[in-house]
Amino acid sequence: MNDGVPDDVKNEIFAALRFGDGEVERKGGREWPLSGDEYRRYGRQLIMPEVGLAGQMKLKNASVLIVGVGGLGCPAAAYLAGAGVGTIGLVDADDVEVSNLHRQILHGTAKVGMSKVESAVLYINGLNDEVQCIPHHERIFPENALGIISQYDVVLDCTDTPASRYLISDSCVLLRKPLVSASALRTEGQLMVLNNPPRPAGDVHGGPCYRCIFPKPPPAASVVTCGEGGILGPVVGTMGVLQSLEALKVIIATSSEEDTPMELDEIDAQQQQQQQRKKADPPNLLLFSSFSKPMFRSIRLRSRRADCAACSAQASVTVESLNSGSLDYVQFCGVSSPVAALQPSERISVKSFAQLIADSEQEVHFGRPLAAPPVVLDVREKVQFDLCSLKGSINIPYSVISSTDPSATGPSATWVDELRRIPLDQALYIICRLGNDSQLTVKRFRELALDEGGRRRIVDVAGGLKAWRDKVDRDFPEY
């Protein structure tokens, strides 16, 4: 047709008109695919060729599942709701805590104690009441994963454990859903669009899944949580925002054969779609390192693994194996067992330890203290020690202790020499944040011969500063 209107614009208009079937508004006899409010609300993205009317209709008809309404899920949900994604599902079993608020931007001080999904629904409804929110106030398990995920078009993995990441990826492969996966810790983030295109297991043209990239989980002991390692709000926020962006791109790029406008040159339209499909981004991993230059790096990833347990022709992960509970993701990923490295004689409870300190501070009749003040070594990292510490305690970070080679010959580390100078009748009391590193320190001190062949006692303060706060000093800061 030669009517001066470019073909791609025409395609878009026809496609949009078809999408709008049954939802058109009548005004002055004309039918518009969106309401007047929607034109105004989405105007700034509607005028972009990347979105346009057809893209907006796809967003409106799309449903996105956000698993985990934390540092990633909050910003992702906000931008998807703002963009007019028709249905947003939210999965989380947790309640809002005050330590979430520096990064989980949908929640607020007044919502502490409320469930995260309820808080998120309130926020999203306030932002855009065109969006239908579906709260799933539960944790994701093999037993409920397929039932929840099957209701949605695209999935965002905003969770924080390897077990949930494998489960969500496996479910997305089985249900043929594209998966936008992100994670963050400290100053860094990682982002992948997986199972895109979401071809059936065994189809080599499908995008790789999480197992293709990480066939085996990391040892549980190497997995660091945000609570242990720390997280900067804008870092995890950046990753969540990028997840929403990738989800929008996946939705807008979806080609739907049944929507091909019949009035147009059909061959052209089909070719266009085929080209679009070919253009699906090759798999890559985006690395965000906020204190490095450059901050972003993109890595080319492998395609589907020929022996992948989930997405290959020989996949062992099936709907049946998931439903029957024969796939134990927690066992697969392992559980980091609590440290129990010591004999009872090498440990002291925080209450007895507090008594020891009290005794040493008390003057007795003959003008002498009952006991010498205990030597207290705090093995938290310096940055934590600087936040708050016990009076008179000395800081030797565990990272320094653990990187000191006990088998090394030659001059020992300065800190070791300094500890050797402490009189032998003085015990060394080791304390940390939760009581794990302190036990490992006692072991390591013996390896470094700091116990002087048993002549010096080295004692773990059981439960660390957490127990100290819980049982001795309620005012000791919690962080």
Binding site listing? 71, 92, 99-103, 116, 160-161, 209, 212, 308, 311
- Judge whether 172 counts as a catalytic residue: no
Strands (E), 68-178: 87-91, 132-136, 154-157
**What residue numbers does the annotated binding site for ATP cover?**
71, 92, 99-103, 116, 160-161
Q: Identify whether the C-beta of residue 446 lies closer than 8 Å to the C-beta of residue 415.
A: no
CA distances to 94, 116, 186, 317, 476 from 112, rounded to whole Å, are: 11, 9, 24, 39, 22
Q: Identify whether the C-beta of residue 85 lies closer than 8 Å to the C-beta of residue 154.
A: no
Active-site residue identified among 74, 158, 226, 333: 226
Q: Identify whether the C-beta of residue 195 lies closer than 8 Å to the C-beta of residue 336.
A: no
| Strand ranges of the sheet holding 375-378, from the earlier edge strand across to the other edge | 347-348, 458-461, 428-431, 375-378, 394-395
Q: Kindly state whether residue 430 participates in binding Zn ion, applying the rule CB under 5 A.
A: no
Nearer to Zn ion, 140 or 311 (CB): 311
Query: With CB cut-offs between 5 and 8 Å by kind, which of Zn ion, another protein, none does residue 311 bind?
Result: Zn ion
Nearer to another protein, 68 or 206 (CB): 68
- Judge whether 74 counts as a catalytic residue: no
- The number of residues that bind Zn ion (CB under 5 A) is 6
Q: Which structure tokens are listed for 175?
A: 């249900």
Q: Kindly state whether residue 218 participates in binding another protein, applying the rule CB under 8 A.
A: yes
Q: Fill in the per-residue mask, 65 to 84: x = in contact with another protein (CB under 8 A), - = not in contact.
A: ---x-xxxx-----------
- The number of residues that bind another protein (CB under 8 A) is 53
Query: How many Å apart are CA 53 and CA 14, to the nearest integer?
Result: 10
Q: Which of residues 174-203 bind another protein (CB under 8 A)?
A: 182-186, 188-190
Q: Identify whether the C-beta of residue 264 lies closer than 8 Å to the C-beta of residue 189.
A: no
Q: Kindly state whether residue 387 participates in binding another protein, applying the rule CB under 8 A.
A: no
Query: How many Å apart are CA 431 and CA 120, to the nearest integer?
Result: 39
Query: With CB cut-offs between 5 and 8 Å by kind, which of another protein, Zn ion, none does residue 76 bind?
Result: none
Per DSSP, what are the bridge partners of residue 184?
A: 189
Q: Fill in the per-residue mask, 366 to 395: x = in contact with Zn ion (CB under 5 A), - = not in contact.
A: ------------------------------
Q: Which of residues 303-362 bind Zn ion (CB under 5 A)?
A: 308, 310-311
Query: How many Å apart are CA 4 and CA 203, to the nearest integer?
Result: 42
**Most distant pair of Cα atoms in the chain: their distance:** 110
- When binding is defined by CB under 5 A, the residue of 211, 347, 380, 456 that contacts Zn ion is 211
- When binding is defined by CB under 5 A, the residue of 133, 158, 209, 379 that contacts Zn ion is 209
CB atoms within 10 A of CB 387: 10
Q: Which structure tokens are listed for 24?
A: 């058109």
Pairing of strands 25-27, 30-32: antiparallel
- In angstroms, what is the minimal distance from the CB of 419 to another protein? 17
- In angstroms, what is the minimal distance from the CB of 377 to another protein? 19
- When binding is defined by CB under 8 A, the residue of 47, 299, 358, 422 that contacts another protein is 299
CA nearest neighbour of 80 among 39, 116, 130, 117: 130
- When binding is defined by CB under 8 A, the residue of 161, 255, 272, 318 that contacts another protein is 161
Query: How many Å apart are CA 428 and CA 457, to the nearest integer?
Result: 6
Q: Kindly state whether residue 165 participates in binding Zn ion, applying the rule CB under 5 A.
A: no
Q: Which residues bind Zn ion (CB under 5 A)?
A: 209, 211-212, 308, 310-311
Q: Which residues bind another protein (CB under 8 A)?
A: 68, 70-73, 157-162, 165, 182-186, 188-190, 213-219, 221-226, 229, 231, 236, 285, 287, 289, 292, 297-302, 399, 402-407
Enumerate the active-site residues: 226, 432
